[in-house]
Chain A
């Protein structure tokens, strides 16, 4: 075997047993979409993949991306700042999720599935990107707070379930509507969408900054 490009090492040192999750989800939704592509419900299926399925998988992967690293102590001993370790590993997860999303959109085009209800091409990308970033930030920060990747994944799963089950409640009040991370996919034409998107994006950034601040205290994870 030959030496590899740096990003390929990062990929190979992520948990390979979790990396197939986006692929499995992609195949599952692709199959259901194909079966229902002439049906009026096909939009819900496609929206479910973008707005709800991908962000969940992204959050779980983000939880394990840094701490499930057998050579973490060697990474800490290398002259590499914490932000760079974080960016490389979380960035690769985001790249994988982006690839899954874009290929699924191409697949929908091939099937002539109309996704215009998600809005403009930019709105369509925000429908999966914003909840993905939010749950990735939550998974990453949660794993660092609890000092274990499983804790971060459980936190992501809990928020995901609570938001989906309680979406009606979240939609009732101005404040909770802003905190509903799936609004971009759930009601893409809602008048409060822009405010929601700003809040969700800001929260995501804050969660990553918090995660970075925690990750700088390397001894917590040894």
Chain B
């Protein structure tokens, strides 16, 4: 459904040029697709290109056969798109219902009766029916995000792009939001961009990792987990010193007998009792990033 070939995006010119995307190739089909990567990896640029907001510097992007390089293609893609940007700006003096209604108008839903019905439905989907007629300036961060997803869904999009949707949400809201996305993924393409590994692990059957503008991993979450096989260690120590810098601390648990570390990296020589443990998705991601760092150091 989405085909990306040799996609490149360079901001600025000459010595100040910054390459945000560098030869990205991807094919994305129906269901939930996760895009993972550290801050500054180029995720938001890729999301904006897919939303038809940012123009690529090179390469091609086709969405349901529409070429995003043309104005006609962009308009066609935007008509089937729901988009939740990373930084969601709202109008504080509008109510949630009015905001979603306004966005529906912008998306070309011109029949007032049908629009009003649909606005009520999406506000119900995101659990905002009770607060629908309250002004947005009184909403919490989580409620604003829910308004964001409601406006993204109002035109019944075939493609839903959500950029860092759970940033700033409390744990309960994050879980609720993830479940909502999974429900919605049954009949559309959803692209979830985030740097929160857990969100991808809980929702996506397919993912890509973007780092420094390149796709460095593509596959199922289990494949990424397997990449860290034999590299994840559990160590319990009473020592006050931190583990070696070669190891990344994934988590720390304060126990009665000391501190239990979960570490990713080569076997920690300083801990004779280090135990290998099965890797999780976060371990796989951290190992991938560590490997990339080592590779670039070796090249340097």
Contact = CB atoms under 8 A, between A and B. Distances in A.
Contact of A219 (B48, B85, B103, B115): B48
A219 B54 contact: yes
Nearest to B100: A3
B90 interface: yes
A12 B55 contact: no
A4 B98 contact: yes
Nearest to A78: B106
The interface size bin for chain B is 35 or more
Given A70-B91, A77-B83, A9 B51 contact: no
Given A70-B89, A72-B89, A1 B95 contact: yes
A78 B98 contact: no
Interface of A: 1, 3-4, 6, 9, 12-13, 16, 69-81, 217-219, 222
B81 interface: yes
B178 interface: no
Contacts of B151: 74
Nearest to B89: A70
Contacts of A1: 95, 97-98, 133
Nearest to B81: A77
A1 B101 CA distance: 12
Contacts of A80: 78, 106, 108
A6 B105 contact: yes
Contacts of A79: 75-76, 78-79, 107-108
B53 interface: yes
Contacts of B89: 69-74
Given A4-B101, A78-B107, A79-B75, A71 B90 contact: yes
Contacts of A73: 53, 83, 85, 87, 89
B91 A13 contact: yes
Nearest to A3: B101
Interface of B: 48, 51-55, 71, 75-76, 78-79, 81, 83, 85, 87-91, 93-95, 97-98, 101-103, 105-108, 112, 115-116, 119, 133, 151
B48 A74 contact: no
A6 to B, nearest CB: 5
A189 B75 CA distance: 49
Contacts of B83: 73-74, 77
Contacts of A81: 71, 75
A70 B97 CA distance: 17
Nearest to B134: A1
A4 to B, nearest CB: 6
A75 B101 contact: no
Given A1-B133, A71-B89, A73-B89, A78 B103 contact: yes
A9 B98 contact: yes
Given A74-B83, A78-B103, A3 B53 contact: no
Given A73-B89, A79-B108, 13 more contacts: A3-B97, A3-B112, A3-B116, A4-B101, A12-B93, A73-B85, A73-B87, A74-B89, A79-B78, A79-B107, A219-B48, A219-B55, A222-B54
A15 to B, nearest CB: 11
Contacts of B103: 71, 74, 78
B53 A76 contact: yes
Contacts of A219: 48, 53-55
Nearest to A13: B91
Nearest to B11: A219
A12 B91 contact: yes
10 contacts: A1-B98, A4-B98, A6-B105, A9-B98, A9-B102, A9-B105, A74-B103, A78-B103, A79-B75, A219-B55
Most buried by B among A9, A72, A80: A9
B130 to A, nearest CB: 14
Contact of B52 (A69, A71, A77, A217): A77
A32 B46 CA distance: 57
A217 B71 CA distance: 12
Top 4 nearest A-B pairs (CB, nearest first) are: A70-B89, A79-B78, A78-B106, A77-B83
B91 A218 contact: no
A23 B289 CA distance: 58
B53 A12 contact: no
